[in-house]
Amino acid sequence: SFTGTAGLNPTYGSLQKLHARDTDLIALCEDKVVQILADKDAVFEADGNPQLTATNRVLGQSRPFVGEYGISNNPESFASESYRAYFTDKVRGAVMRLSKDGLTPISEAGMKDYFRDNLKNNSLLIGSYDDKKEEYNITLNRLHKTVSYKEDVKGWVSFKSFTPENAISCANEYYTFKQGNLWRHHHEQADR
């Protein structure tokens, strides 16, 4: 447990997702993404006791990332890989990447109109990261489409026919879940 608070501005909307990254937390609110310093050393005066107590269990200063983007009400669109995180901002019609250089609307890489038109019509936006193919997959449930973004080409590389209810990478394998069944992708002996 942590002591202290990181006072988030109420104009950022409700907190939808917390993500631990190195020595900080990323708070994804409806209308803003905020970095909260965590696990830093702090000194407190103990209640009613003249002694000072040191602790590193503190949530510290919160700093919003530059850009007017949040995760709307779709925390299920969030996926992370190494130091990068991906998510959608349905309200603004954008797919976002949070990296060391801050927030980037990756939907603008040739798919700006597509996402602006289609994110708003989907109630469920399932995000996942495929470690094997090194792609962020975003599933638009109502369209029955999954679209893939690849970092090394800085663009959207594929429309896929699978529409999972959830997906995860584990031990460099990519798995999706549909109607209670587990599907392993990229298997050499699989019928295509």
pLDDT tens-place string over residues 119-165: 999 989 999 999 999 999 999 999 999 999 999 999 999 999 999 99
**pLDDT score, position 50:** 53
Rounded percentage of the chain residues whose pLDDT exceeds 90 = 68
What rounded mean pLDDT belongs to the chain? 87
Q: Does residue 58 or residue 85 have the better pLDDT?
A: 85
**pLDDT score, position 1:** 36
What is the per-residue pLDDT across 169-188, written as a single tens digit (0 to 9) for each?
999 999 999 999 999 998 88
86 has pLDDT over 70: yes
Query: CA-CA distances (angstroms) from residue 141 to 19, 96, 187?
Result: 24, 18, 24
Q: Of 83, 3, 89, give the one whose Cα is nearest residue 43.
A: 3
Tokens encoding 170:
């584990």
**pLDDT score, position 62:** 81
Tokens encoding 82:
């190494």
14 has pLDDT over 90: yes
CA 88 from chain centre, in angstroms, equals 8
Q: How confident is the model at residue 9 (pLDDT cuts 50, 70, 90)?
A: confident
